[in-house]
Homo-oligomer: A and B are copies of this chain.
Amino acid sequence: MIRNCSVLVVPAQGECRVDEYQDIVTEDGVIDEVMPTRAYQAEPDVEELDATGLIAVPGLVNSHTHSPMVMMRGAAEDLSIDDWFNRKIWPMETNLTPERVRVGARLACAEMLLAGVTTFVDHYFHADQIAAAALETGIRADLAPTFFSSTGADGREAAYQAARDIRALDVPRITASLGPHAPYTVTDEDLARTAEVARAEGFRIHLHAAETAEQTRSSQDRHGATPIEILERTGVLDAGALIAHGCGLTDSDFRILANHAARTTVAACPKVYLKLAMGSTTPIKQLQHAGIPVGVGTDGAAVHNTLDVWESLRLLALTQKQREQSAEWMTVSDTLRLATRGGAAAAGLPNDLGAIEPGRRADLALLDLSGPHNQPLHDPRAALVYSTRASDVVTVVVDGNIVVRDRELVTADLSDILAEARAVAHTLVDLSRGGAVQHYAP
């Protein structure tokens, strides 16, 4: 029972609104009722949280990330996309071990929860370790064990098995997807095999595609098909896909995606497109016309530097206004909807997450907008998009459980997480052994 807060109401369409003086009743991890605050007799076995002066917001979803890459934060700056992959990140990833991935994932989960991110949609190696960190810290996660075709059939099948193993944990809060890296690092045969497994076993497929216009051109030159056409002909779109980025989508791609709208979502990570000077951003307007839900993500912190979805949603609004050359496009309400309901779709749970409504999972953040950077508060919705900081998040609830209280992580020891991360950080950026997990030449 959360008492006496304001509630950000995010409808499926139209303007968001803020209802003041509300109580939120949750039971067994589900929102049972949202109702005007009233005097009532507390029941002895009901935990009450006084949220006077705070605003409850649906927990944000980080719709595409590689959470353990927080371990490389700030270690690859001011580089072209080619150098970033080939001189830094893919060589650094030869240093990955299960233990180091677990350390990074714990730090990532802590950073996200403290910022009000209640779900992350991840794509990385050693995903069992990421599952362990999510279980420990109380965050919700969809995890796609990643593979390249360069690791052969064994690597591919091991990645599928890792997804099955996560599913076998049988924790509803932790789901699994299949994680081929991208059409330029995974062969058509392996994509087709992935689609078969996905269809047969009911997995979604989470992968990168059409990240830049350059990638699309290159794919057309080499394969006579855009990345989206490859996903169509290999059955990936039929199986259901979460596509990261899509900045290089073509007009014909939108028509293909529209035919698979019921099973496709796209994640936009705008900070990354600017930072790597990718030249374009996710074409959200066209995707929405095609009926495709879009979520907001950070991508990995090796390029985004944070896992702060507030930062991402603000940049999404700003860069979409720029893209469409209209300050009236990507309104405050639409931006908040992408970060909540859009994220729910990206997480594969469009009806369970993304809004503070009876019947949905009790995933929410309580924010204090009384700081000088948010005041006077003419419009709390505008504050949430354009002036809020992650540090305004006070309390966070996932699945009805309080995981952050008074700005402190309660599910794990933050100082232990930080100490562990500092202790192994140097091992991840060590390039002395040479080699790389993959070569970037899309």
Interchain nearest-CB distance for A17 vs B (Å): 14
Residue interface bits A307-329, CB-to-B below 8 A is 1, else 0: 11000000101110110111111
**Cross-chain contact B72 with A111 (CB below 8 angstroms):** no
Residue A57 interfacial (CB < 8 Å): no
Chain B residues whose CB sits within 8 angstroms of the CB of A370 once the complex forms: 418
Q: Compute how far the CA of A308 lies from the CA of B307 in the bound complex, rounded to whole angstroms.
A: 20
Question: Quick check: which of A220-228, A239-247, A253-261, A269-277 contacts chain B, the rest being far away?
Answer: A269-277
Chain B residues whose CB sits within 8 angstroms of the CB of A325 once the complex forms: 277, 279
Residue A383 interfacial (CB < 8 Å): yes
Chain B residues whose CB sits within 8 angstroms of the CB of A78 once the complex forms: 327-328, 331-332
**Cross-chain contact B418 with A71 (CB below 8 angstroms):** no
CB contact list, A49-72 vs B, under 8 A: 70-72
Residue A114 interfacial (CB < 8 Å): yes
Q: Compute how far the CA of A271 lies from the CA of B315 in the bound complex, rounded to whole angstroms.
A: 9
Q: Compute how far the CA of A325 lies from the CA of B307 in the bound complex, rounded to whole angstroms.
A: 25
Chain B residues whose CB sits within 8 angstroms of the CB of A382 once the complex forms: 73-75, 77, 305
Residue A186 interfacial (CB < 8 Å): no
**Cross-chain contact B305 with A422 (CB below 8 angstroms):** no
Question: Which of A77, A326, A329, A422 has the most B CB atoms < 10 Å from its CB?
Answer: A77
Size category, A interface: 35 or more
Interchain nearest-CB distance for A163 vs B (Å): 28
Question: Quick check: which of A165-173, A287-295, A384-392 contacts chain B, the rest being far away?
Answer: A384-392
In chain B, what residue has the closest Cβ to A103? B376
Q: Compute how far the CA of A78 lies from the CA of B15 in the bound complex, rounded to whole angstroms.
A: 12
Residue A198 interfacial (CB < 8 Å): no
Q: How many copies does the complex hold?
A: 2
Interchain nearest-CB distance for A33 vs B (Å): 30
Q: Compute how far the CA of A325 lies from the CA of B325 in the bound complex, rounded to whole angstroms.
A: 19
Question: Quick check: which of A79-87, A138-146, A352-360 contacts chain B, the rest being far away?
Answer: A79-87
**Cross-chain contact A387 with B271 (CB below 8 angstroms):** no
**Cross-chain contact B372 with A111 (CB below 8 angstroms):** yes
Q: Compute how far the CA of A418 lies from the CA of B370 in the bound complex, rounded to whole angstroms.
A: 8
**Given A305-B387, A391-B391; A71-B326 close (CB under 8 Å):** no
**Given A78-B327, A318-B274, A373-B111; A386-B279 close (CB under 8 Å):** no
Chain B residues whose CB sits within 8 angstroms of the CB of A390 once the complex forms: 373, 389
Chain B residues whose CB sits within 8 angstroms of the CB of A376 once the complex forms: 70-71, 73, 107, 421-422, 425
Contact of A305 among B72, B279, B386 (CB under 8 A): B386
Residue A8 interfacial (CB < 8 Å): no
Interchain nearest-CB distance for A97 vs B (Å): 16
Q: Compute how far the CA of A84 lies from the CA of B111 in the bound complex, rounded to whole angstroms.
A: 36
5 nearest A-B pairs in the assembled complex, by CB-CB distance? A376-B425, A74-B382, A305-B386, A391-B391, A274-B318
In the complex, given contacts A277-B321, A277-B326, A306-B386, what are 4 additional A-B residue pairs having Cβ atoms less than 8 angstroms apart?
A: A73-B387, A77-B379, A277-B327, A306-B373
